Amino acid sequence: MKLAVVLGTRPETIKMSPIIRECERLHLDYFVLHTGQHYSYELDGVFFEQLNLGKPKYNLGIGSGTHAEMTGLMLLGIEHILFEEQPSIVLVEGDTDSALAGALASVKINVKVGHIEAGLRSYNRLMPEEINRVLIDHCSDLLFAPTDKAKATLLSEGIPATSIFVTGNTIVDAVYQNMQLAPKAFDGREYILVTLHRQENVDSKSRFSSILEGVERIAVDYRVVYPIHPRSRKMMAKFGLKAKNIELIDPLDYLRFLQMEKSAKLIMTDSGGLQEEACILGVPCVTLRDNTELPETIEVGANMLAGASPDKIVECAKTMIDKRNTWSHPFGDGKAGERIVNIVKERYE
């Protein structure tokens, strides 16, 4: 059996790290193919060094572009490597263009596909990620659902039960494993951590400015720190937006950022991964979106949806900021990577 791991972004690297470590531990025949969707050292390259994962065997170096441009170039590059390597199965994670390209390139040449974090739905088809999730799930052979809710979604869409495995989420494994590598806390002062980068938020001047207004109102009473993504900074400049009273800092490497999450009083974000990590770390969260593919975080009381309304953002932040961690996170016991690799071995070895 030969196993291929296809990834291309920072979140995928984090969530695939337990899979890679398990392959190493078992001395499996595997390789990592990086599409280069995230291509700066700060946002990507440093991860492999910090997490002791070794360099990917292949890096397509795709870089930025439209969704069609990136996906098309990835399909060409991935197909060429799959023809050369002939893996038994390709593992993809989540909902990125890299994951979609990895799945599509594989099924077109009859290579099996395993989808990690299958069954998530926001039911917002305006999100490119939502389209990707659905397409990947429906062309995968093995679907690794993080929760029973995700499994139920897949079953409701006609995917056979024999293809679905509830494994927990590898983000739990990653948090547990990587916290041991993380440095000391960000600093001793209390703060709210903000991240904001999704296309539907930062590419709209009215929506971006509305969210910033809500966060600025919170920043009157609390220290707010925003490690700003280069693309978000670019759109702020383009729209002429300011961030009053908000501390804008450069993006952090993953381990420092993980420690910053753990030490925060509250996390306000439009990131799916941060909703999961906040829930796991016991930090209350406010999601700066109108919907989420992670309703479990809301159901256990760890998260609230605020949308883009300044009044709603302030209301949710005040509700959550002093909330005690009384929830149990729903994403598993930190052994998802081990389960996934074992299932793949049993099926294809």
| Residues with catalytic roles | 197
Spatial CB neighbours of 282, under 8 Å, sequence gap ≥ 6: 325, 327
CA angle 94, 174, 269 (to 5 degrees): 60
Distances (CA, A) of 212 to 104, 218, 245, 248, 269: 38, 10, 11, 12, 12
Whether 286 contacts 268, CB under 8 Å: yes
CA 113 to CA 55: how far, in whole Å? 23
Distance CA 16, CA 272 (A): 15
- Exposed e or buried b for every residue in 45-66, given b needs 16+ CB within 10 A? bbbbeebebeebebbbebeeee
Q: Are 15 and 58 in contact (CB under 8 A)?
A: no
Catalogue the long-range contacts made by 92-95 (C-beta closer than 8 Å, 24 or more residues apart): 92/6, 92/7, 92/116, 92/136, 93/7, 93/12, 93/15, 93/16, 93/117, 93/170, 94/11, 94/12, 94/15, 94/129, 94/133, 95/120, 95/129, 95/130, 95/132, 95/133, 95/136, 95/293
How many other CB atoms sit within 10 Å of the CB of residue 163?
15
CA dist 62 and 81 (Å) reads 14
Considering only CA atoms, which of 196, 222, 220 is closest in space to residue 210? Answer: 196
- The dihedral built from the CA positions of residue 51, 202, 99 and 78, taken in this order, carries a sign that is negative
CA-closest candidate to residue 294, choices 123, 121, 175, 151: 121
Place of tokens 């925060």: 264
